[in-house]
Amino acid sequence: MTTPIWQRGATAPIHIDFEAAFGVTNTSKSPVLLPYNSCDLAGSQELVTPETITGTRNPVPPFAGKIDVAGNLVVPLDCTIFGHLLRWMFGAPSSSGTTNYTHIYKVGLTQPSCTVERIFTDLTRYALYNGVMVKSATIEIQATGELTCRLALLGASRADSGTATLTTPATPTLARLQGRQVAIYEGAAQSFSALPYGTKLTINIDFGLDGETYVIAGGGQRRYMAPGIVSVSGTLSGLFEDAALLTKATDLTETGLKATIAIGANNALEIVIPELHFEEKTPAVTGNKGVLLELNYKAFVADDSDATPIKVTLKNQTAGATYGYIAP
């Protein structure tokens, strides 16, 4: 007796490939297998109800509207594969080193797009999305639990078929980062001091994509998505041990944040927000136990030499060319 096949999440891999031209599958492909926790990236096409009057109370048939490719992708933080996702957000890094490499990502003037293939192995079905860009990202860094990054994605087109497009992907090894490896620092002018009472740091990055780019004769899909001003914000949580940060919030004193997650000296992720202001908020007392300090912040660019609202440094044994770096 044949057992009915039900598609399983465990056998639904994702392959991505950086596009040379927006919305176009590369002729020469270099896909990467992307480990992930969850993904609901999907293509949908709305049905529009006409307002046509026919002399009865019966509705007339709807017609097809615009195509929307959108969804969320949650991935673990690590020291190797996350470099591809950072490239998806910021573009290719500036890389240096031999054997042990350092890759630096900053906000630039452009932002790349990817072809994404969701593979339903049990059913031999393939969902292909073109022109997929990162709309926003949320990174949660905490002492306990899994460290993850949630990417909100927007795309141009989708196609479903029984034939794979992004075949034979590279399969880099996941070098997972863990909460016990985290350290948080605070200070102005990138002169940071350890913040021993921090419990959680949330970083929200909005890349300012313009997704309302539907044009006549465009087939109902987005023509492009122009990246706008990048905004970086979030929340720092910690034990309310002193009023130093609360005073900086009250006085609108400029400061900065740094988070490091290190497996070792040559395998680490560092995130720096050079310039920010905290929003003033008196800590809440919700019971008889310890009080937590939770301060929202917003980053900006004024006079810091890095001239970026966020800088990410990745250290590993992967050459820069793997992440799109081209040596000058």
Label residue 2 by pLDDT band (50, 70, 90): low
Kind and range of the H or E run holding 91 = none
Question: Average pLDDT, stretch 278-294?
Answer: 92
**Domain edges within the chain:** 11-47+64-162+173-323
Amino acid code (one letter) for 146: E
CA gap 203, 137 in Å, rounded? 8
Of 262, 88, 302, 73, give the one whose Cα is nearest residue 179: 262
CA distance 304 to 309: 9
Is residue 47 classed exposed, middle or buried when 0-12, 13-18 and 19+ CB atoms within 10 A define those classes?
Answer: exposed
Check pLDDT > 90 for residue 220: no
324, with CB counted inside 10 A (0-12, 13-18, 19+), is: middle
Q: Which of 14-23, 150-159, 165-174, 220-229 has the lowest mean pLDDT?
A: 220-229
pLDDT higher than threshold 90 for residue 108: yes
Q: pTM (2 decimals)?
A: 0.94
Residue 204 near residue 232, CB atoms below 8 Å: yes
66: how many CB neighbours lie within 10 A of its CB? 15
The SS3 call for residue 295 is: strand
Q: 209-210 and 226-227 as β-strands: parallel, antiparallel, unpaired?
A: antiparallel
State in Å, rounded, how far the first CA of the chain is from the last one: 62
Mean pLDDT over the full length of the chain? 94
Q: What percent of the chain has pLDDT over 70?
A: 99
177 touches 77 (CB < 8 A): yes
Distances (CA, A) of 223 to 22, 109, 159, 211, 249: 9, 19, 16, 9, 42
Site of tokens 């598609």: 7
pLDDT digits (tens, 9 = 90+) for 15-72: 999 999 999 999 999 999 999 999 999 999 889 999 999 999 999 999 998 989 999 9
Element containing residue 54 per DSSP (H, E): none
Which is nearest to 203 in space by CA: 232, 229, 182? 232
Distance separating alpha carbons of residues 2 and 59, to the nearest angstrom: 44
Q: Are 72 and 151 in contact (CB under 8 A)?
A: yes
Would you say residue 1 has pLDDT above 60?
no
**Three-point CA angle 204, 205, 208, nearest 5°:** 135
Q: How far, in Å, CA of 186 to CA of 184, rounded?
A: 7
In the numeric block, the tokens 């900006």 are attached to 300
> Any idea of the CA torsion for 118, 122, 124, 130, to the nearest 10 degrees?
0
Q: What is the pLDDT of residue 4?
A: 60
More confident residue, 223 or 89: 89
pLDDT of residue 255: 96
Tens digit of each residue's pLDDT (9 = 90 or more) over 177-211: 999 999 999 999 889 999 999 999 999 999 999 98
In the chain, % of residues over pLDDT 90: 88
- Residue 214's pLDDT band (cuts 50, 70, 90): confident
